[in-house]
Amino acid sequence: MAAYESDITQFLKSLKEERPSLETEQRQGRALLWDKAPINLEERDRAIASRVAQKPYVYALD
């Protein structure tokens, strides 16, 4: 007896057969947008401490 496969499952299987590099491309896209290097906490604290306060209404003419 054959197991039922939905239309979406059939579509995804055919898509993966047509484009075998699809999963690799997806992983590269994820790495580009989401996978980031760990934050250096000391460097972040130093950057926050060295900020200069911005004057209000920076676009107003003096």
Which tens digit of pLDDT belongs to each residue from 14-51? 999 999 999 999 999 999 888 888 889 999 999 999 99
Beta carbons within 10 angstroms of residue 48's beta carbon: 8
Evaluate if residue 5 carries a pLDDT over 70: yes
Encoded tokens for 56: 């209000």
Q: How many CA atoms within 13 Å lie on the side-chain side of 59? A: 0
Domain segments of the chain: what residues? 8-33
Q: What is the pLDDT of residue 27?
A: 93
Residue 55 has pLDDT above 90, yes or no: no
> Which secondary structure element, helix H or strand E, spans residue 33, and what is its range?
helix 22-33
The amino acid sitting at 59 is Y
